[in-house]
Chain A
Amino acid sequence: MISIKNLHKSYKMGDTSLHVLKGIDLNVNQGELVAIMGSSGSGKSTLLNILGMLDLADEGEYLLDNVLIEGLTETTAANYRNKFLGFIFQSFNLINYKNALENVALPLYYQGLGRKIRQVKALQYLEKVGLKDWATHLPSELSGGQKQRVAIARAMASQPKVLLADEPTGALDSKTSSEVMSLIQQINNEGKTILVVTHELDIAHMCKRIVTLKDGVIVEDQSVDQVIVENHV
């Protein structure tokens, strides 16, 4: 599903240049649940941003579902993101003046779907994350766990090929963290490819494979016995 070869990325910081990714090779197959670990500064977020087409690599090859991603303009990147990718952020990033349903429907709006279809689909995904009854609530009326579940529903709504989660439990307590991870596992079990960036080991062990980054290179890539989280939802 994802194939990257020899990925390099450096940031200019004034006169010096910071080499963040120093040749990353990674293959992720359909249906995998991969945790990307590493301490801060290891380059894991940069990698996720490049995978999410929010950032461009300096060098290297990136294939997503056998489509070579290169020479992106902002517009094509936006279209690819809309079609192929779903994002889950640490701080949820829901739009605060839109209710849960409208938030979930937003990527569908940018897909150009009609209003009715958007509503039906969005409601479907809200139901999937167990928040159908909260459809008309604003984010400010939801708990952290609920917000993240709305965000997951939103990421799912556009039926992306890959879900990219950046510290999805970073802002949650352990109980709601497991709720969210349980939901992620459930979605993964339905066949969706998911990448989770985390620095928490127990979260990483809820995935099927752990890729560890250190100083811009992959130092470890191992399959693990997945800790199945009890479904609270």
Chain B
Amino acid sequence: MNSLKVIFDFDTWQEIFGSISKNKTRTVITVIGVLWGIFIYITLSGAAKGLDNGFEREFQDMAMNSMFVWPQRTSVPYAGFKVGRYPRFTISNVKELKQQIPEIRFIAPRNARGVFGGSQPASVVHEEISRTYNIYGDFPEYTKIATKKIYKGGRFINEEDQRKNRKVCVIGERTQEELFEEDENPLGKYIRINNVYFQVIGVHKYIEGGGFETDGDIFIPFNTFRNLYNTGEQVDWFTIAAYADADVVAVEKNVKDLLKKIHKVAPEDERAIGSFNLGEVYNNISGFANGMTFLSLVVGLATILAGVIGIGNILLISVKERTKELGVRRALGATPGEVRTQILLESVFLTLIAGVVGVILGAAVLAIINLATQDLSDFPYTNPTVPIPLVVSALFTMVVLGTLIGMIPAQRAVSIKPIDALREE
């Protein structure tokens, strides 16, 4: 008999449906096994994807391949210098770094007051209110490395500000709240920073998780900062972004090696220059997310396999139970092939039904999780999804497994001779 014809024959399915609906308890229990498997699989991999998306969202405000480099204390005597020296980065390092390390895309030197130990924050006055805030001297390039969201109407420091040593500043949300009236637009207004008047050109939106920055930070042009604090050539630290295809770990090493060379630090001195590599951290975290995805794949597939084996098991029992019925069918003219096909299709059908219901339930749970985590901004979880090809391949795997497992009871059903089957009471 043509097997394709059998599959698309309405009667075949009626026969299968008849025998499946005969024992509803059996069917339901069997289905639950596989259903549970695919449900776990869909939910887990969706959850892993949500975590992955969440991490990605957390990092969206930072160039993934960016790093910070700052000087610390030397720990190895070198080139006539004693231990315990503080190397100082200078503005001329930018040129050298850019020239010698082509992987560097952007480099933004920064100076700050109030951030790291020792330095005083800026005292800021507006009308009658006086407060202190951390203050940064920045290049416009900084926004290429770390996104700074500026509220409507405002802007970040630009090249003109830099060149003309403009006394302009970008203030934080909290700064605005504390210094200005609620309905007062700070843009264009002047505030006094260390007794020098600065015009407010923007208010930046504070994004959590950005390291040491706060919602009260004030950004002013690097050159203006230099004049304000007399920092000369000094740079507190560099913020560097590499090209997307560059190996961030290698770039980090090159940058540090070059800076050591310039500032006469022993090449083997690990402590003299500190760095924080966001790309590396990101790689670790996305590695973790990938691990989660892989884990969910393994766990899900294993559970599905267990479920499908359960189906095979139950069908085996059911074949034993139905020995007589199968014997009658054979006596009435069912060929071994027809009996085998029927048992096989029962297996596949049960598996597929279970699979589809499992996918639907899994999707529903993911939708609920999605709703529940919609407003969470401090928890890295966004849009848990399972790609359709994954679902389809999971279903396909189940059908294949269902067929393979179904072969055992099917073969058993055929191996019983009709006469023995009929004799069994």
Cα–Cα distance between A109 and B342 once the two chains are bound (Å): 13
Cα–Cα distance between A91 and B324 once the two chains are bound (Å): 11
- Does the CB pair B419–A49 fall under 8 Å? yes
A165 to chain B, nearest CB (A): 13
Cα–Cα distance between A102 and B337 once the two chains are bound (Å): 21
- Does the CB pair A52–B331 fall under 8 Å? yes
B17 to chain A, nearest CB (A): 11
Q: Which residues of B are found within 8 Å of A54, using beta-carbon distances?
A: 331, 417-419, 422
Most chain A beta-carbon neighbours within 10 Å: one of B22, B330, B333: B333
**8 Å CB contacts to B: which residues of A133-155?**
154
Is B18 located at the chain interface by the 8 A CB criterion? yes
A164 to chain B, nearest CB (A): 10
A144 to chain B, nearest CB (A): 16
Is A95 located at the chain interface by the 8 A CB criterion? yes
- Does the CB pair A81–B331 fall under 8 Å? yes
Cα–Cα distance between A82 and B334 once the two chains are bound (Å): 8
**8 Å CB contacts to A: which residues of B303-351?**
324-325, 327-338
Interface string of A62-94 (1 = CB under 8 A from B): 000000000000110011011100010101011
Cα–Cα distance between A97 and B18 once the two chains are bound (Å): 7
- Does the CB pair A91–B330 fall under 8 Å? no
**8 Å CB contacts to A: which residues of B132-191?**
none
B side interface size, CB within 8 A? 27
- Does the CB pair B333–A115 fall under 8 Å? no
Cα–Cα distance between A135 and B335 once the two chains are bound (Å): 26
- Does the CB pair B325–A110 fall under 8 Å? no
Q: Given the known A-B contacts A97-B18, A97-B22, are A55 and B419 also in contact in the complex, defined by CB atoms under 8 Å?
A: yes
Cα–Cα distance between A78 and B418 once the two chains are bound (Å): 10
Among A74, A82, A96, the residue within 8 A (CB) of B332 is: A82
Cα–Cα distance between A154 and B333 once the two chains are bound (Å): 12
Is B15 located at the chain interface by the 8 A CB criterion? yes
Is B128 located at the chain interface by the 8 A CB criterion? no
Q: Given the known A-B contacts A78-B330, A115-B10, A115-B11, are A93 and B335 also in contact in the complex, defined by CB atoms under 8 Å?
A: no
**8 Å CB contacts to A: which residues of B19-52?**
19, 21-22
Q: Is the interface of B mostly helix, strand, loop or mixed?
A: helix
B170 to chain A, nearest CB (A): 78
Among B328, B330, B338, B419, the residue within 8 A (CB) of A95 is: B328
Is A107 located at the chain interface by the 8 A CB criterion? yes
Is B425 located at the chain interface by the 8 A CB criterion? yes
Residue of A nearest to B330 (CB): A78
- Does the CB pair B335–A74 fall under 8 Å? yes
**8 Å CB contacts to B: which residues of A107-146?**
107, 109-111, 115
Q: Which residues of B are found within 8 Å of A52, using beta-carbon distances?
A: 331
B7 to chain A, nearest CB (A): 15
Is A158 located at the chain interface by the 8 A CB criterion? yes
Q: Given the known A-B contacts A49-B419, A97-B19, are A87 and B338 also in contact in the complex, defined by CB atoms under 8 Å?
A: no
Residue of A nearest to B21 (CB): A97
Cα–Cα distance between A89 and B422 once the two chains are bound (Å): 9
Among B333, B419, B422, the residue within 8 A (CB) of A82 is: B333
Q: Which residues of B are found within 8 Å of A106, using beta-carbon distances?
A: 329, 332
A110 to chain B, nearest CB (A): 4
Q: Given the known A-B contacts A97-B19, A97-B22, A109-B15, are A78 and B334 also in contact in the complex, defined by CB atoms under 8 Å?
A: yes
A166 to chain B, nearest CB (A): 9
- Does the CB pair B425–A107 fall under 8 Å? no
Q: Which residues of A are found within 8 Å of B325, using beta-carbon distances?
A: 95-96
Cα–Cα distance between A193 and B219 once the two chains are bound (Å): 107
B29 to chain A, nearest CB (A): 18
B320 to chain A, nearest CB (A): 16
Residue of B nearest to A83 (CB): B333
- Does the CB pair B15–A78 fall under 8 Å? no
Cα–Cα distance between A83 and B425 once the two chains are bound (Å): 27
A30 to chain B, nearest CB (A): 22
- Does the CB pair A87–B18 fall under 8 Å? no
Q: Which residues of A are found within 8 Å of B330, using beta-carbon distances?
A: 78, 81
B110 to chain A, nearest CB (A): 79
Residue of A nearest to B337 (CB): A75
- Does the CB pair A74–B333 fall under 8 Å? no
Q: Which residues of A are found within 8 Å of B15, using beta-carbon distances?
A: 109
Q: Could you pull out 22 A-B pairs where Cβ atoms are within 8 angstroms?
A: A54-B419, A78-B333, A78-B338, A81-B330, A83-B333, A87-B332, A89-B328, A89-B422, A93-B324, A93-B328, A93-B422, A95-B325, A95-B329, A97-B18, A97-B21, A97-B22, A109-B15, A110-B329, A110-B334, A110-B335, A154-B332, A158-B333
Sample of 20 more A-B contacts, CB < 8 Å, known A49-B419, A93-B324, A94-B328 = A52-B331, A54-B419, A55-B419, A75-B337, A78-B330, A78-B338, A79-B335, A81-B331, A81-B332, A93-B328, A95-B328, A95-B329, A96-B22, A97-B19, A97-B21, A106-B332, A107-B332, A110-B333, A115-B11, A154-B332
Residues of B within 8 A of A (CB): 10-11, 15, 18-19, 21-22, 324-325, 327-338, 414, 417-419, 422, 425
In the A-B complex, the 3 residue pairs with the closest CB atoms: A82-B333, A97-B22, A110-B333
